[in-house]
Amino acid sequence: MHVLSFKVHLTNIRGLHANLDAVHFHLETDKPHLLFLTETQIRCPSDAAYLDYPGYSMEHHFLQRAGVCVYVRNDICCQRLRYLEDPSFSILWLLVDTGMDKIVYACVYRSHSGDQETTRLFGHLSEAADEALHRHPDAQFVALGDFNACHQDWLFPYQRTDHAGREARNFAVSLGLSQLVKQATRVPDVDGHTANCLDLLLTTDPDRCIVTVSSPLGTSDHCLVKSVSTFSPPDYDARSERRMWRYKSADWDEMRHFFASYPWQQDVPVGGSAKWFSADCVQAEQLKHSAFLAWVNARDRKAPDLITKKRAFNHAAKSYKKALKRARFDHITHIGTKLSAQPSGSRAFWSLAKSVEANFCRPTLPPLVRPDGILAHTAKEKAGLFASLFAHNSRLDTSSATPPTLPHCDSSMPEVRIRNKEVLRVLCRLDVNKASGPDGIPAIVLKACAPELSPVLTRLYRLSFRTGIVPKSWKLANVQPVPKKGVADPTNYRPISITSILCKIMDVC
């Protein structure tokens, strides 16, 4: 049976600014579906675009000394549940639709704010969870984050119980949640202090989830919690149409021209992603993880060299962060040098510039939020949503409008003449890379057959101009949504109409 894995990672990042390179490195190498970060320690910026990473979208609830955020891979269908959130708490709610299951996530960061505030936080969390499960009764529920809680009967190292631990366990019991993190997740700052399990993952479906603990990201003192869930996708009919290419009918002269003019000397990848990190980064990350495992092993055995292992891990973590910073700087410098060396406006310049702008990544259209709050994630649903929105924005109410008064004009327009020579010139100058309109006639065919088609098209254009009739296919357009800012809200897209090339030729002539 085919099984799909769904990877959800969590860590207390202890400052997203300071560890941003490590977060981006982790997204590029591990490619989790969701990466939840707590204690981001960022005031809400006017523009958070510098925190983004290609292939991911980010949702955040930033607070100066607290805050949470999540990186969501672009192939994941999700919706922010803002109606459940309280601005005074560092809690972010997310509904994820995998296509097989729906999962409600609550990412929590609880600071050391006193027993009364802790009770209020868990009261809000319980009420919001009840509301979420009431609205989505078929969804699983996962609460994860840094709870800063201790419980001698429930949480590693099982030594003491505090008020937060009692509240967290009561919350889990009331909702039937299982706590899956069974080892320490915080690396002590002071030698001799006990390592505690502070980062928890509570779920209503523990049997399908495997949790492991890995070394921290960057210089954070909290480990990375990795969760992998398995899903069995439904069986779809595998039959599909097969497209056959007639290579004997291809324009090989144009193909040869393309190969001859392509900037092969430029180090621009075609598809995929260009890794900004170097082999030194990979080696530094491996050394850091090895040092972490050595410290964990010494801690579990209560070995006499525990402090030495801990210091070795701290040194490896700092070296790892320096390697990432150096690699990112070298990468940016290299790209800048290559851009400055190319003639401005040249084909090689724009090929490289477009790759840099997209950061060598081509994400797909993300899930969209309908007016009723439901997610649209299939191609048909998205197309219908855009069609309704663009059609609504294009309607003008002219029922009570008064026709404009046009001033008298003494000038006359000379007779319009459409000449075969001009039509041929426009056909020969067509850009064969331009998309064809709804009629499906590509530019490459018109250009390759320009001498044969120009007389026919000239007669067609003259007839259309003389009779005032335009072919119906010329009035149609393929509308392409182009994002302006946020990608989840359909109103943040503007329509680009791709019309018939034949109609454009007549307009030029």
Instruction: Report the alpha-carbon distance of residue 446 to residue 424 in Å, rounded.
Output: 10
Q: Residue 354: what pLDDT? A: 64
Minimum mean pLDDT among 113-117, 393-397, 501-505: which range?
393-397
Q: Residue 289: what pLDDT? A: 92
Quick one: what percent of the chain has pLDDT higher than 90? Answer: 46
Cβ partners under 8 Å of residue 307, min gap 6: 191, 192
Q: Is 135 helix (H, G, I), strand (E, B) or coil?
A: helix
Cβ partners under 8 Å of residue 1, min gap 6: 232
Cβ partners under 8 Å of residue 146, min gap 6: 12, 38, 39, 108, 109, 110, 198, 199, 222
State the alpha helices, DSSP H only, in 75-162: 115-135
One-letter amino acid at 99 equals G
Instruction: Report the alpha-carbon distance of residue 99 to residue 57 in Å, rounded.
Output: 19
Asked whether the predicted pLDDT for residue 423 surpasses 70, the reply is: yes
Instruction: Report the alpha-carbon distance of residue 450 to residue 448 in Å, rounded.
Output: 6
Q: Residue 361: what pLDDT? A: 45
Asked whether the predicted pLDDT for residue 232 surpasses 80, the reply is: no
Helix, strand, coil content of the chain in percent (nearest 5): 40, 20, 40
Confidence grade of residue 360 (pLDDT, cut at 50, 70, 90): very low
Six-digit token pair at 184? 């320490």
Instruction: Report the alpha-carbon distance of residue 468 to residue 485 in Å, rounded.
Output: 41
Six-digit token pair at 242? 């097969």
Instruction: Report the alpha-carbon distance of residue 211 to residue 333 in Å, rounded.
Output: 39
Task: Name which residue leads in pLDDT, 164 or 394.
Answer: 164
Largest CA distance in the chain: 102
pLDDT tens sequence across 427-448? 999 988 788 888 888 888 888 8
Residue among 387, 393, 394 at smallest CA distance from 480:
387
| Residue carrying structure tokens 């509904």 | 95
Report, as an integer, the average pLDDT of 377-387.
83
One-letter amino acid at 49 equals A
pLDDT tens sequence across 456-488? 899 889 988 888 888 888 888 888 888 876 667
Using CB atoms within 10 Å of the CB of residue 87, give its burial: 0 to 12 exposed, 13 to 18 middle, 19+ buried: exposed
One-letter amino acid at 161 equals T
How far is C-alpha 491 from the geometric centre of its chain's CA atoms?
18
Q: Residue 381: what pLDDT? A: 84
C-beta neighbour count of 187 within 10 angstroms: 21
The rounded mean pLDDT for the chain is 85
Task: Name which residue leads in pLDDT, 73 or 335.
Answer: 73
One-letter amino acid at 142 equals V
Most confident of 187-191, 198-202, 233-237, 361-365: 198-202
State the alpha helices, DSSP H only, in 69-156: 115-135
Most confident of 44-53, 189-198, 300-309: 300-309
Report, as an integer, the average pLDDT of 193-199.
91
Minimum mean pLDDT among 60-74, 151-165, 409-423: which range?
409-423
Instruction: Report the alpha-carbon distance of residue 9 to residue 32 in Å, rounded.
Output: 7
Instruction: Report the alpha-carbon distance of residue 155 to residue 184 in Å, rounded.
Output: 9
Using CB atoms within 10 Å of the CB of residue 70, give its burial: 0 to 12 exposed, 13 to 18 middle, 19+ buried: buried
Q: Is 294 helix (H, G, I), strand (E, B) or coil?
A: helix
One-letter amino acid at 286 equals Q
Q: Is 249 helix (H, G, I), strand (E, B) or coil?
A: helix
Q: Which residues pair with 10 in a beta bridge?
A: 36, 225
Instruction: Report the alpha-carbon distance of residue 156 to residue 159 in Å, rounded.
Output: 8
Confidence grade of residue 240 (pLDDT, cut at 50, 70, 90): low
Instruction: Kindly report the length of the chain.
Output: 509
Q: Residue 489: what pLDDT? A: 81
Most confident of 190-204, 235-249, 392-406: 190-204
pLDDT tens sequence across 120-176? 999 999 999 999 999 999 999 999 999 999 999 999 999 999 999 999 999 999 999
Cβ partners under 8 Å of residue 438, min gap 6: 473, 476, 477, 478, 499, 500
Task: Name which residue leads in pLDDT, 207 or 273.
Answer: 207
Six-digit token pair at 163? 């008020």
Using CB atoms within 10 Å of the CB of residue 461, give its burial: 0 to 12 exposed, 13 to 18 middle, 19+ buried: buried
Instruction: Report the alpha-carbon distance of residue 126 to residue 7 in Å, rounded.
Output: 25
Minimum mean pLDDT among 154-163, 220-229, 275-284: which range?
275-284
Residue among 67, 72, 59 at smallest CA distance from 13:
67
pTM: 0.65
User: Do residues 11 and 200 lie in contact, with contact meaning Cβ atoms separated by under 8 Å?
Assistant: no
State the alpha helices, DSSP H only, in 342-438: 347-357, 379-394, 420-428
Kindly calculate the radius of gyration of the chain based on its CA atoms and give it in whole angstroms: 30
Using CB atoms within 10 Å of the CB of residue 507, give its burial: 0 to 12 exposed, 13 to 18 middle, 19+ buried: exposed
Task: Name which residue leads in pLDDT, 486 or 43.
Answer: 43
Asked whether the predicted pLDDT for residue 367 surpasses 80, the reply is: no
Six-digit token pair at 162? 């505090």
Q: Residue 370: what pLDDT? A: 82
Instruction: Report the alpha-carbon distance of residue 228 to residue 9 in Å, rounded.
Output: 9
Asked whether the predicted pLDDT for residue 356 surpasses 80, the reply is: no
Please calculate the CA angle 182-188-189 and round it to the nearest 5 degrees. Answer: 160
Q: What is the DSSP string of 404-428?
A: PPPPP----PPPP---HHHHHHHHH
